[in-house]
Amino acid sequence: MVAEKRRAREHRGLDRLARAARSSQAFLRIVAERGDNVGSAIARLLQLLDAVGAAELEEALVEVLERDTIHIGAVRQVIDRRRSERHLPPPVSIPVTRGQHAALVVTPHSLATYDALKKDPTP
């Protein structure tokens, strides 16, 4: 029973990653093919997801896959480099481990609609 619960938790994290960052599936497939610890990779990717959000994680995963540097450290390095280039501070995560919002993934939308509101000549 303990083993079944552990496997169920792993799939819940895997599903959350797949919804948030599509490239995580390819990344984790390669990790598994190399015989590396998939559970650890999932846990660390979930930490990064919580810290930087889905869009940044997806961009970093795409770059890592393109460069064929399939390591969690490489994902973290890409995220840190991109944030530094934009003069952003290091990411800080606020863990939500329990409750109804624990598995919530928020996908940001384009802010262009707000730009259009600023251009509207009506008072």
CA separation for the pair 95, 31 (Å, rounded): 25
Residues 99 and 47: their CA atoms lie apart, in Å, by 17
Q: In sequence order, what are the residues at sequence separation of 6 or more whose Cβ sits closer than 8 angstroms to the Cβ of residue 12?
A: 103
N- to C-terminal Cα separation, the chain: 64
pLDDT at 93: 60
Q: Which two tokens stand for residue 15?
A: 């599903």
Distance CA(95)–CA(93), nearest Å, equals 6
Cβ atoms of 103 and 54 within 8 Å: the answer is: no
pLDDT at 37: 92
Residue 94: the pLDDT is: 63
pLDDT attached to residue 11: 61
Residue 64 CB contacts under 8 Å (≥ 6 apart), including other chains: 27, 70, 71, 74, 75, 78
Q: What is the pLDDT along the chain (123 residues), one digit of tens a residue?
A: 666 665 555 567 788 898 899 999 999 999 999 999 998 999 999 999 988 889 999 999 999 999 999 999 999 999 999 999 988 887 766 665 677 777 777 777 777 777 777 776 665
